[in-house]
Amino acid sequence: MKKNRKNNLSEITPESVFMMKRRNLLKLLGIGAAGIAVSSTAKADLFSWLTEDNKPTTPKSSRKELQFIQPEEYQSSLQLTHEDKVIGYNNFYEFGLNKSDPAKYAHTMKTEEWTLTIDGEVNRPLTLNLDDINHKFQLEERIYRMRCVEAWSMVIPWVGFPLASLLSLVEPNSRAKYVAFETRYAPQEMRGQDSRFIGGGLQYPYIEGLRLDEAMNPLTLLATGVYGKSLPNQNGAPIRLVVPWKYGFKGIKSIVKIRLTESIPPTTWNLSAPHEYGFYANVNPDVSHPRWSQATERFIGTGGLGQVTRQPTLLFNGYGDQVAHLYKDLDLRRNF
Ligand SMILES: Nc1nc2c(c(=O)[nH]1)N[C@H]1C(S)=C(S)[C@@H](COP(=O)(O)O)O[C@H]1N2
Ligand SMILES: [Mo]
């Protein structure tokens, strides 16, 4: 029991550890000798997570019931992560570094009027308004495993549509090789964009990217909902990316721009720590993060200590049959 607790504490938010290292890394490294010597923020986060003191403040009524189909191949017999965890234990650094911050603060982001522009190397640039985002595409439910680079995982029932459906509308031209994504930038609404302290020192807006063939893969989803209802802000309303064979940070939230490009686009975590976070970020148990092993993960089921189990991490997060061919000529160790 004690050992579990220690493990959890030492693994609390590895992505943010990079950001806080000057102040707190020594303390974190002292865990072994000094017992529970972690930053007070990490402790508070763990405490709130274990005590369920992190109930999302977004009223559930603000989430609309969605209409969607349930294709057989994307249903699953895996145990789902409880909805309270999916919408209460989040990474969205625009609202703070603690797992409970997004649920607490993301309601300040305005999503009533939203435009998503798709342009760059395409024949038919397109701007979608919120109504288009919500009604232009056939929605489907897909149950996907989600593996954060911090070595925790969930199983999440997303609702959305393939990114490929949107890309086929804009018709990428022959120069298009990559797809770049950008999150909303509104420091007045997003406290972490307004303060380097709250936002972990990342550069905002948050940006991400995929190779075009990765973007066109049938697994790659633009999600507008979760658990049958529209996304709460903390999960990236009104529209976010889900790439289930990659680490969670590739799944950029609250997207306002998609641009097709000829050259590889910069990405937020790679800019902040290039030796730790690559462009590919494919889930791979054999390629360790410089500061921790990726061989296993802590599965967050219903929450609480009894429901957190450690399990082996799978190559491509278990989606190798669908995506391994994309990387057959790539050295996955160099291209991490
Ligand atoms: N804009 C933005 N998108 C983001 C992040 C972020 O901080 N900002 N965090 C990423 C990380 S590290 C993870 S693990 C997932 C978490 O998604 P979830 O909170 O819906 O589980 O979102 C990703 N998308
Ligand atoms: Mo993550």
Ligand 1 pocket: which of 153, 210, 249 to mutate (most atoms <8 Å of CB)?
A: 249
Q: Which of 139, 164, 146 is nearest to 66 (CA)?
A: 139
CA distances from 117 to 19, 128, 160, 256, 265 (A): 31, 6, 18, 6, 17
Q: What is the pLDDT of residue 33?
A: 35
Q: What is the pLDDT of residue 266?
A: 98
The domains located in the chain, with CATH, are 19-327 (3.90.420.10)
Ligand 1 proximity of 148 Cβ (cutoff 6 Å) = yes
Q: What is the pLDDT of residue 62?
A: 84
Distance CA(140)–CA(37), nearest Å, equals 45
Distance CA(93)–CA(98), nearest Å, equals 8
Show the tokens assigned to 50. Answer: 């274990």
* 119 burial via Cβ count (<10 Å: 0-12, 13-18, 19+): middle
Minimal-distance CA residue to ligand 1 atom 24: 252
pLDDT in tens, 139-161: 999 999 999 999 999 999 999 99
Q: What is the pLDDT of residue 56?
A: 53
Q: What is the pLDDT of residue 302?
A: 78
Q: What is the pLDDT of residue 308?
A: 79
Distance CA(247)–CA(113), nearest Å, equals 30
Q: What is the pLDDT of residue 18?
A: 53
Q: What is the pLDDT of residue 10?
A: 38
Ligand 1 proximity of 90 Cβ (cutoff 6 Å) = yes
Please identify, by atom number, the ligand 1 atom nearest to the C-alpha of residue 183. Answer: 1
Ligand 1 proximity of 58 Cβ (cutoff 6 Å) = no
Q: What is the pLDDT of residue 306?
A: 61
Q: What is the pLDDT of residue 16?
A: 64
CA atoms lying within 13 Å on the CB side of residue 308:
18
Residues tagged in the binding site annotation: 90, 93-94, 148, 183, 235, 240, 251-253
Residues of the chain with pLDDT under 70: 1-14, 16-61, 303-307
Ligand 1 proximity of 252 Cβ (cutoff 6 Å) = yes
- CA 253–ligand 1 middle distance (angstroms): 6
Q: Which of 246, 251, 222, 245 is nearest to 321 (CA)?
A: 245
Q: What is the pLDDT of residue 227?
A: 98
Ligand 1 proximity of 268 Cβ (cutoff 6 Å) = no
Distance CA(112)–CA(132), nearest Å, equals 13
Q: What is the pLDDT of residue 215?
A: 99
Minimal-distance CA residue to ligand 1 atom 11: 249
